[in-house]
């Protein structure tokens, strides 16, 4: 038996015991090391939905995790019990047009862990142990904590977002929203050669985190809008990482003529007023960035080599049994950046 978190509806999280299952030849059972609470997890818990994805059956959230191999299927040769692993939550089909073109994040048959995007839902990793396909796991021998390794997924999101920005060498970049993803975009943009990075948010704690992540300037956009308001624009590239309509408006206002806006945040499902004429008249490129592809492998390499150090972004780790407290802490942006749930592997 294994203990699992289940969200039944908004503000309704329950712990349930689940039966152990037999392994198929290419499957692996993994014990939870650490699992980060993401913005979409918070939306599922507090609102019963994340954007257009609504909970229609009890959902175990959690898609950014690391763990320890417990047992392997008969056909698995690359992994063995006791190995530390990074976990890719994407299960692309590999055969649709998008997968064949190298854009597996747009796979038409995608199964993404901890998501209500399809029905039946794909259950996630906020549980003591779980069974995955071996190809979703990357063995890591380096001396790196489970907590750091669980950043591979959000770092992959940030790397993909920066990829969607186009060349950044020598450019000024504005990032709206300085949560975990926003801070990781700051780090990734610097790695890509950005000359100046500005982060804005409506709270002080995220801005302190963005400064620690390497932002050249930070702005309280609710108190000092003039600092990022210039008729000529303040940045060639603006990245919306807040999932907030006002933050998107800031990007559009702050982007220089001929610049590019990349939307990473999930905006409200009910839609919003969109100033399309500003996009047209100033010839702005508007692009979306959804999840990631090969960037997951890059993220693991960057973390293991410590070329990217995420330790300053980890606020707290709580045992799985304290999931409700962890969700509440993660939702309090005045106190936290990244909050993780941890299992026995990380506590031993």
**pLDDT of 101 above 80:** yes
Confidence bin at 43 (pLDDT 50/70/90): very high
Q: How far apart are CA 26 and CA 156, in angstroms?
A: 25
Domain co-membership, 44 together with 169: no
End-to-end CA distance of the chain: 20
The answer to whether residue 300 sits within a structural domain is no
CATH of the domain at 191: 3.40.50.720
Mean pLDDT of 160-174: 98
The answer to whether residue 43 sits within a structural domain is yes
The pLDDT score that the predictor gives to residue 273 is 83
The pLDDT score that the predictor gives to residue 274 is 85
- Total domains in the chain come to 2
Confidence bin at 288 (pLDDT 50/70/90): very high
| pLDDT tens readout for residues 228-241 | 888 788 999 999 99
Mean pLDDT of 266-285: 87
Confidence bin at 41 (pLDDT 50/70/90): very high
| pLDDT tens readout for residues 78-97 | 999 999 999 999 999 999 99
The answer to whether residue 110 sits within a structural domain is yes
Domain co-membership, 144 together with 7: yes
CATH of the domain at 132: 3.90.180.10
The answer to whether residue 298 sits within a structural domain is no
The pLDDT score that the predictor gives to residue 236 is 97
Q: How far apart are CA 221 and CA 29, in angstroms?
A: 45
The answer to whether residue 293 sits within a structural domain is no
Domain co-membership, 146 together with 218: no
The answer to whether residue 69 sits within a structural domain is yes
**pLDDT of 186 above 90:** yes
The pLDDT score that the predictor gives to residue 154 is 98
The pLDDT score that the predictor gives to residue 308 is 96
Domain co-membership, 164 together with 45: no
Mean pLDDT (the chain) is 95
Q: How far apart are CA 10 and CA 5, in angstroms?
A: 14
The answer to whether residue 296 sits within a structural domain is no
The answer to whether residue 238 sits within a structural domain is yes
Confidence bin at 193 (pLDDT 50/70/90): very high
Domain co-membership, 69 together with 97: yes
The pLDDT score that the predictor gives to residue 134 is 97
Domain co-membership, 147 together with 177: no
The pLDDT score that the predictor gives to residue 223 is 85
Cis upstream peptide for 52 (omega within 30°): no
Q: How far apart are CA 32 and CA 66, in angstroms?
A: 7
Confidence bin at 19 (pLDDT 50/70/90): confident
Domain co-membership, 144 together with 167: no
Domain co-membership, 219 together with 326: no
Domain co-membership, 268 together with 317: no
Domain co-membership, 69 together with 103: yes
Provide the domain limits for residue 282.
157-288
| pLDDT tens readout for residues 50-69 | 888 999 999 999 999 999 99
Domain co-membership, 279 together with 206: yes
| pLDDT tens readout for residues 110-149 | 999 999 999 999 999 999 999 999 999 999 998 999 999 9
The pLDDT score that the predictor gives to residue 178 is 97
Domain co-membership, 117 together with 174: no
The pLDDT score that the predictor gives to residue 345 is 78
The pLDDT score that the predictor gives to residue 229 is 80
Confidence bin at 258 (pLDDT 50/70/90): very high
**pLDDT of 269 above 80:** no
């Amino acid at each position: 038996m294994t203990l699992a978190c289940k969200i039944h509806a908004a503000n309704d999280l329950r712990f349930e015991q689940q039966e152990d299952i037999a392994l198929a030849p290419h499957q692996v059972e993994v014990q939870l090391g650490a699992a980060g609470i993401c913005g979409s997890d918070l939306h599922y818990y507090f609102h019963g939905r994340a954007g257009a994805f609504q909970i229609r059956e009890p959902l175990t959230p959690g898609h950014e995790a690391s763990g320890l191999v417990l047992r392997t299927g008969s056909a698995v040769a690359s992994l063995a019990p006791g190995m530390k692993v990074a976990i890719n939550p994407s299960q692309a089909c590999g055969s649709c047009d998008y997968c064949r073109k190298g854009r597996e994040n747009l796979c038409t048959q995608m199964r993404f862990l901890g998501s209500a995007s399809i029905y039946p839902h794909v259950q996630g990793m906020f549980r003591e142990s779980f069974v995955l396909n071996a190809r979703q796991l990357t063995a890591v021998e380096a001396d790196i904590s489970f907590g750091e390794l669980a950043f591979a997924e959000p770092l992959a999101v940030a790397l993909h977002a920066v990829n969607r920005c186009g060349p950044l060498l020598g450019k000024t970049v504005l990032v709206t929203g300085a949560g975990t993803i926003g801070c990781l975009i700051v780090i990734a943009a610097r790695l890509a050669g950005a000359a100046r990075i500005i982060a804005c948010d409506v709270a002080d704690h995220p801005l302190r985190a963005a400064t620690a992540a390497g932002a050249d300037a930070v702005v309280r956009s609710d108190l000092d809008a003039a600092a990022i308001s210039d008729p000529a624009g303040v940045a060639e590239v603006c990245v919306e990482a807040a999932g907030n309509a006002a933050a998107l408006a800031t990007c559009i206002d702050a982007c220089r003529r001929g610049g590019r806006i990349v939307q990473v945040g999930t905006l409200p499902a009910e839609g919003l007023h969109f100033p399309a004429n500003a996009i047209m008249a100033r010839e702005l490129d508007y692009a979306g960035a959804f999840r990631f592809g090969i960037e997951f492998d890059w993220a693991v390499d960057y973390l293991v080599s410590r070329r990217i150090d995420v330790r300053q972004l980890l606020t707290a780790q709580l045992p799985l049994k304290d999931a409700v407290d962890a969700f509440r802490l993660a939702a309090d942006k005045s106190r936290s950046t990244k909050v993780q749930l941890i299992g026995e592997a990380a506590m031993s």
